[in-house]
Every structure is written in structure tokens, then in C-alpha cells.
Amino acid sequence: MSGFESISGFESILGQEQPIRLLTTLFRNETIPHALLLLGVEGVGKQTAAMAFAMACNCMVFEQKNLSEGTKTQADCYTTSDQITTIGPCGCCKSCRKIESGNHPDIILVKPSGPFIRIGQIRDLCDTLALKPYEARLRVVIISDAQAMNPSAGNALLKVLEEPPDQTILILTAMQTSDLLPTIVSRCQHIRFNPVSRKNIETLLIQRHKAHPDDAKIIAAMANGSVSKAFSMISPMNGANWMNRRIWLINEVESLSKKPIGPQMAFAEKLSKNKELLADSLEVIKSWLRDLVVCKYHPGKIINKDLSDRIQRASKKMKVISMLSKIDDIHSAQKDIKANANLRLTLEVLIMRLAKV
């Protein structure tokens, strides 16, 4: 077992009081559904919550009666007669330590192999689920980034959801329901995780990474509610690079209309060659254009506060309708890229549109 993040229970998840309350209510109501779907943007704690839930389901501090002794309700949920008074796992017992270290045989993580979760991975999972759990009260399967399932993998998983194995709960994580087969969505209980507030991310960056408050504000804004993205941007390896990259991107976009087609296409090529940075780069460009609009009405609410003078000067030169159109162009390009359109061509078209005065 590998790929698990270090966790210490629900208390380690920041800014998700409502979804955590819903998860712990499953214990208080003594009902655990066969399938959960945790929804929200990347990096808001979905997988950490899934692992904490798996720990809670098998924590030895709780009564030792096996959940398999419970009965299935009309809602097709597991019930246990044990009154659970603790809302989270202890983190110290043998079971909790095994799960936290990624060594528990009955806590199974399925994640994309490359860009997809393939049917072979789901078939292997089905073979495992045909057997009884080795030691867990409740076996937990976590399918991370479930939207990455190709159609055949999705259909194979659907069969598991239609006839769920005993002593097993499946927890899927995804960004939104529209990325999954409707038949899969309908067989899961949904819990939505919200983007983490900028203020909370700022606080974390300052406390955990000793970030300068001004840098923390900018990174928190660029992270779009994702704690993991913010941590990646502020890390010693990437932090300074991202602050510099932000300025480079803004400089390029600001000067596009003054450049001939050759340099414009060169900019598109540079973006296409850094695929791992592309999504965040487009968000940086979008945040700049957003600031140019916001500055006209609410200057205090701009994202790039360290560039406020520059934003004010640029905003005066541009029409709101033009800036909103450019933001729409970025949205369209992001959708096309997500749909696996030709990356270089998509970016070239986008850059030409951004270059229009």
C-alpha cells in the first residue's frame, strides 16, 4: 500500500466543518453508506477526510464488535448497535497506525495510472473485493480522482456499486458530479468540500512555511482555495519561481497587443511546453484580467495587491467588455484543454484572442 498522505484524523482538515460534521454524523446515527462521493476542487482535504474516516471505522478504541454483525437497513447502509461517542479516530491504536502509514491490507487506494484509471485496475479491485477483509471491521476502498476513470472502468465499477461487497465501503473523490457517469453518481451519498478561504490559507502559509505576509496573500489568491496548491507554490523549490513566473506572465500578456504574430506564437509555445504549470499559469493570467475589472469598481478587492499601482494604470486603458471577453476566452481554452483538444493549437488561438485590443 502506498501513496497515502500523513494524517492525524478529522482535526487535521482545515476549513471543512460542514463536510466533517456530515461524516461524523454517520457515526452518531450509526449508519454508514456503502458508497460516498466526496466532491470539491483539488487540495481541499477530500482524500485526507477519506483516510480519517477509514481510521474511524476501524479504530480499536471503539467497541470491538465487528460491523459485519450489524444489519443492512432499507437505505442499504451498515448499522452497528455500538454507540460511538468519539467523533474521530484515536490515531494511536494498531489499526490507526497501520492505516496512517499506508500498511493496512484492507484500506485500498485506487488512483490514476497516468491520465486515467483503467479497467484493469478496477478488475483487480473486484478480485480483491471477492475475498473477505483480512482484519478490518470495515474494509475501505478510496478511489481518488474518480473522474479519471475511462468509460470501461466506470462501467466495471458500476457493477460493484450495484452489488456492494459485505463489510466494504467505497469512497470516491472527484471535482464535480458532471465528470462521472450519472449511474455512479446516483448510487453514492454526496458530501461537498468547499474551497478553503484565502484567510485560512494565508494563515497556514505564514505558520507552517514562514511565508512573508505579502507573499502569503498573493499565493493564497493564486491557489484558488486549494491548500496543496498553495503549499506547492510556496515551497523552497517553487515559491520564488512562482512569484517570478507570475510577473513574467503578466508582462507577456500586457505586451501581447504590441507584438507581431511570431513572438505571440512563441509565448503560446512556452506555455504548452510546461504542461505541469499550465493550469496554474492560466489562472494567474485570469486573476490579472479580473483585477483590471475589479479595480474599476472595488480597488480594495484586487488579488495582486503588490501591483495595485500597475493595475490601476492598466485598468484605465482597457474597456470592461474587452477584459470580460478575454476572461471568457481563457475559460473556453481551459474547457478545451480538459477535453483533450490539441494543446498547442488551443493556446495559439487563446493568445491571439488575448492580443486583441
Q: To the nearest 10°, the Cα dihedral for 179, 335, 144, 155?
A: 40
- Long-range contacts of the stretch 115-118 (C-beta < 8 A, 24+): 115/148, 116/148, 116/149, 116/150, 116/153, 117/143, 117/145, 117/146, 117/148, 117/149, 117/150, 117/153, 118/150, 118/152, 118/153
Predicted local distance difference test score (pLDDT) of residue 87: 60
**In this predicted model, what pLDDT tens digit does every residue of 56-114 receive, in sequence order?**
888 888 644 444 344 343 334 443 333 333 467 888 889 989 998 889 999 999 999 88
**Domain covering 10-192 assigned CATH 3.20.20.80 in the classification:** no
User: Which DSSP helix (H) or strand (E) runs through 25?
Assistant: helix 17-28
Domains 10-192 and 238-355 share a fold: no
Predicted local distance difference test score (pLDDT) of residue 146: 95
> Could you tell me what percent of the chain has a pLDDT over 70?
89
Predicted local distance difference test score (pLDDT) of residue 1: 34
The model's pTM is 0.76
**In this predicted model, what pLDDT tens digit does every residue of 181-208 receive, in sequence order?**
999 999 999 999 999 998 999 998 998 8
Q: Give the distance, in angstroms, between the CA of residue 328 and the centroid of all CA atoms in the same chain.
A: 23
Contacts with 185 (C-beta within 8 Å, 6 or more apart), sequence order:
37, 177
Predicted local distance difference test score (pLDDT) of residue 233: 85
Grid coordinates of 311: 493595475
What are the structural domain ranges in the chain?
10-192, 238-355
Integer angstrom CA distances of residue 12 from 256, 271, 285: 44, 35, 32
Q: Give the dihedral sign, CA 186/188/189/193.
A: negative
Mean pLDDT, the chain, rounded, equals 86
Residue 315 to residue 342: CA distance in whole angstroms:
32
What is the architecture of the domain spanning 238-355?
Up-down Bundle (1.20)
Whether the predicted pLDDT of 175 surpasses 60: yes
Residue in the block written with cell 458532471:
178
Predicted local distance difference test score (pLDDT) of residue 36: 96
Predicted local distance difference test score (pLDDT) of residue 349: 96
| Residue that wins the pLDDT comparison between 236 and 296 | 296
